[in-house]
Amino acid sequence: MARVSDLGGAPGHGPVPAPDPAEPVFGERWEGRAFALTAFTIGRLSGRNLEAFRDTLDRLTPAEYHDSGYFGRWLHAAQAMLVASAVLAPGAVDARARRLAGETVEEPPDPAEPAKPDYSPTAPGSLREVEAAPEYAVGDRVRARKGARLPGYARGRVGTVARVQPAHVLPDTHAVFAGENPQHVYTVRFSARELWGDGDDVVVTLELFETYLERA
Amino acid sequence: MTDPTSPALRAEALEQLLTERGLVRTDVIDGFVARYESDVGPLNGARVVARAWVDPEYKARLLADATPAVKEVAWGGGANGEHIVVVENTPVLHHVVVCTLCSCYPWPVLGLPPSWYKDPAYRARVVREPRAVLAEMGLELPPEVAIEVHDSSAEVRWLVLPERPAGTDDLTEEELAALVTRDAMVGVAKVAAP
């Protein structure tokens, strides 16, 4: 089944909303609060990392993902990460929201103690040094196989390495605390004709991890 | 605002639960929100673009290795800005940026992404039919202009260096920076002459 976040090339979408140069950073007050609370949740409260956050977004239901927009899905993911780390009890946010709405609701007791993942980053951010030389060089033909951050539309497609980028931690294992496993990352160019079967003079580039690729 | 499932109530509930447990402080949240409302925004990217327009050596450094070059003129690095790559729009090649899997965006130089960038329609369609999407957004590209769509699937963050508009030879770097829009630096618009 297609992942909820994997939207590239999905049919059935209407016009893109018209850009508004005067759009405020946060359209409503709660969006700013959700942004900050989620950033703190990822950064220190849940003990989880950026890739775990993206993975959590990917596990939301379509309703959770789409109903309240970008910051709405952040809020759902923050809540899920705090519950997964036993910082908050399941249902705690819902119960409090209901009390705020005037309902009489019992709130669940806090978890006995937090269960955060046992992980300390080896360096800040996502970029890392990798000792091994990159497997691929600019100009190499490669096929995209599979990987957590490989959009479905490029799976099985052949492109050309355009740039060798700094190595990154590997989302596939890092998201689930199975190791940073840094890898070389490549910007790969795909022709629209290869991806979609039409579209001359259009190229799409993606950043892909070394194990997502095989020589073509 | 009495629907308990509304995001506004859930955000308030989450903030209360975390502050009561001493895990976050309201004034720290206030400061974080204010920082992204006023300090981190497209003016940083506009300064980078204007400098590249007036200083060919800077432009060469920017296109070769953008991350340190950005820091010469604006705050850089940090979340969503660890590795920035700048690509140049020309009369025959147009670059446009998206993140189809989430909404990755170069925060240090452009601030937080606008609604249209985060919209599922943009994420779904701009990789599939960029020419049509750009036309809808007001940018009609002639058929002879090739398009490169950059789908930000890892931690590389793309910034588009738009074409300098004609008739701006007499403007100062600061005046040029004031012309540069967020949308032009994502690649869904051109910079208009004053």
- Tell which of A3, A6, A28, A33 to mutate to test the B interface (max B CBs under 10 Å): A33
Question: Based on the domain organization, do A189 and A98 belong to the same domain?
Answer: no
Question: CA triplet B80, B86, B89: central angle to 5 degrees?
Answer: 135
Cα–Cα distance between A163 and A146 in angstroms, integer? 20
Superfamily for B42-186?
Nitrile hydratase alpha /Thiocyanate hydrolase gamma (3.90.330.10)
Decide if A85 is inside a domain.
yes
Quick check: B17 pLDDT over 90? yes
Annotated catalytic residue: which of B38, B104, B115, B152?
A: B104
Residue B79, pLDDT score: 78
Residue B3, pLDDT score: 76
- Tell which of A201, A212, A213 to mutate to test the B interface (max B CBs under 10 Å): A201
Name the closest residue on chain A to residue B112, using Cα atoms: A25
pLDDT in tens, B50-77: 999 999 999 999 999 999 999 999 876 6
Question: Based on the domain organization, do A165 and A66 belong to the same domain?
Answer: no
Decide if A176 is inside a domain.
yes
Active site residue B38: no
Decide if A198 is inside a domain.
yes
Question: Based on the domain organization, do A93 and A164 belong to the same domain?
Answer: no
Q: Are B176 and B170 in contact (CB under 8 A)?
A: no
Quick check: A1 pLDDT over 60? no
Q: Which among A202, A77, A65 has a CA at the least distance from the CA of B126?
A: A202
Phi, psi (rounded to 5 degrees) for B72: -65, -30
Last residue in a domain, options A74, A99, A116? A116
Instruction: Report the CATH number that the domain containing residue A103 is assigned in CATH.
Output: 1.10.472.20
Decide if A126 is inside a domain.
no
Question: Based on the domain organization, do A101 and A195 belong to the same domain?
Answer: no
Residue A118, pLDDT score: 85
Min Cα distance B140 → chain A (Å) is 15
Residue B2, pLDDT score: 65
Number of domains in chain A: 2
| Residues annotated in a binding site of B for Fe(3+) | 99, 102-104
Name the closest residue on chain B to residue A199, using Cα atoms: B129
Question: Could you give the residue range(s) of every CATH 3.90.330.10 domain in chain B?
Answer: 42-186
pLDDT in tens, A149-166: 999 999 999 999 999 999
pLDDT in tens, B105-158: 999 999 999 999 999 999 999 999 999 999 999 999 999 999 999 999 999 999
- State the pLDDT confidence band at A82, using cuts at 50, 70 and 90: very high
Q: What is the ipTM of this complex?
A: 0.95
Question: Based on the domain organization, do A148 and A111 belong to the same domain?
Answer: no
Q: For the ranges A38-47, A77-86, A154-163, B154-163, which has the lowest average pLDDT?
A: A38-47
Decide if A121 is inside a domain.
no
Which domain, by its residues, includes A95?
1-11+21-116
pLDDT in tens, A181-202: 999 999 999 999 999 999 889 9
Question: Based on the domain organization, do A145 and A111 belong to the same domain?
Answer: no
Decide if A16 is inside a domain.
no
Question: CA triplet A13, A16, A22: central angle to 5 degrees?
Answer: 155
- Helices and strands per DSSP (H, E), number in chain A: 7, 5
Contact assignment for A17 to B115 by CB distance below 8 Å: yes
Decide if A129 is inside a domain.
no
First to last CA, chain A: 27
Question: Based on the domain organization, do A4 and A72 belong to the same domain?
Answer: yes
Residue A134, pLDDT score: 98
Active site residue B153: no
Min Cα distance A124 → chain B (Å) is 9
Decide if A4 is inside a domain.
yes
Question: Based on the domain organization, do A98 and A159 belong to the same domain?
Answer: no
Instruction: Report the CATH number that the domain containing residue A170 is assigned in CATH.
Output: 2.30.30.50
| Residues annotated in a binding site of B | 99, 102-104
Question: Based on the domain organization, do A45 and A84 belong to the same domain?
Answer: yes
Which alpha helices (DSSP H) does B21-129 contain, by range? 26-38, 42-54, 56-64, 66-73, 107-110, 115-118, 120-125
Question: Based on the domain organization, do A3 and A103 belong to the same domain?
Answer: yes
Quick check: B48 pLDDT over 60? yes
